[in-house]
Amino acid sequence: MADESTSDRVLREVKAELAGTPYSLESARLLSGGTTNFIFHVKLLEPLLDGTAEVAVKHGEGFVAQSPDFELPTSRCRIEESCLKDLSALSPHTGEKITVATPKLFYFNEETNTQVQAYQPSPLSLKNYAIEYFAASTLEAPTLETPTLESVKSLSLKIGTAVGAWLRSFHDWSNSEHQLKFRDIAAENKEMQTLKRWMNYERLPSSIKRFPDILGGCNDIFADIVDSVKEEMVNEQALQVIHGDFWTGNILLEGKPWDDEHSCLLVVDWEMCQLAVKPLDLGQMIAELYELKLYKDMEAGIWLIQGFVNGYGAVDDDFAFRTLLHVAVHLIGFGTTVQGWGSQDQARAVATEGRDILKNAWAKDRGFFEKHPLGCVFS
């Protein structure tokens, strides 16, 4: 993780950069949610003309903020800025007392890779929100402030549906003939496209070393999948615009118990926006939601998935199998390595589940999924 002196240095430079602009800082604190970038909650010296008094300031360096030895190109920051500017034309999805939108971009400096975005008050990612408010320990003894099992199911379905409907609208909008400029932005992001393919697929065979007794028989199928994905990416004209990092950590809610007021969810972190295939966005989100069940035994994870695929709408079987293949790859490559999720025995169980999903998705065995929790992926 970047040491305190690095974040202090970044804040000092950001404060100097924004001094004398409408975004001059009265105070700032580093937010814990930033993995790749330095993100600060800033109270402005003076409110903006629209009344905005608090913003998020995001600053990118040529490395991952929490892993300084991992170099990343700063071109990702310009990609995000271009995306957010164009996304202002995409209508938010509005459902029953819930809106899903992208954050407003107020400011960007390409020379410093600093941007000012709309701030989600007391932000919690969907992952952390679910763990805090939907966990079994909370539901066993509900209070006036905590929900019941029935209300959690209803809310999980509603949130999942809204996020899924927003993703479908984004996929449709960004891949329409009227958004060729946005497609060009995504097509330009070659380095992040290469990184995503490497992280998800090309390093998949290395997971055998971590779980030789579980994945030891997967050498050939892993190699076939890697070759298939390389072939899938050859014809750029056949690829689609995707968010590229669509997971529970990039959906921000206000960190408070759900109430009857209208809530707004923000879809953040557009640095990985690229050309690929749409099922990657669905598969990553579903895998992360499924981990809530696998690691935390939270039924809310399954309900969120059900709402999500329902909100996204009908897909054909090939789309569903490709989505499930990516779910499996994500479970094996990421779901077994995240610190703090659970025990080593749980990680082994996740690797086993990932292996079984992968084999059956690759074989396109729909029968396997008939009674599987992820069978809902099929329309």
Task: Indicate whether 300 and 192 sit together in one domain.
Answer: yes
Are residues 170 and 225 both part of a single domain? yes
Asked if residue 87 and residue 199 are part of one domain, the reply reads no
Q: Assign residue 367 the CATH number of its domain.
A: 3.90.1200.10
Q: Does 165 lie in the same domain as 66?
A: no
For residues 103 and 146, membership in a common domain is answered with: no
Q: Per-residue confidence of the chain (379 residues) as pLDDT tens digits?
A: 455 578 899 999 999 999 999 999 999 999 876 678 999 999 999 999 999 999 999 999 999 887 888 888 999 999 999 999 999 999 999 988 999 999 999 999 999 999 999 999 999 999 999 999 998 655 555 555 566 888 999 999 999 999 999 999 999 999 999 999 999 999 999 999 999 999 999 999 999 999 999 999 999 999 999 999 999 999 999 999 999 999 999 999 999 999 878 899 999 999 999 999 999 999 999 999 999 999 999 999 999 999 999 999 999 999 999 999 999 999 999 999 988 889 999 999 999 999 999 999 999 999 999 999 999 999 8
Domain that holds residue 336: 123-377
pLDDT at residue number 1: 45
Backbone CA torsion sign across 335, 267, 159, 253: positive
**Do 232 and 88 lie in a common domain?**
no
Give yes or no: residues 57 and 114 share one domain: yes
The Cα-based distances of 150 to 140, 225, 251, 262 in angstroms read 12, 40, 23, 20
Same domain, 284 and 370: yes
Shared domain check, 107 and 127: no
Q: Are residues 204 and 315 in the same domain?
A: yes
Final residue of a structural domain among 79, 103, 118:
118
Specify the CATH number for the domain of residue 19.
3.30.200
105-122 as b/e, with b when 16 or more CB fall inside 10 Å?
Answer: bbbbbeebbbbbbbbbee
**Contact 330/284 with Cβ under 8 angstroms?**
yes
Residue 89 sits in the same domain as residue 140: no
Count of structural domains within the chain: 2
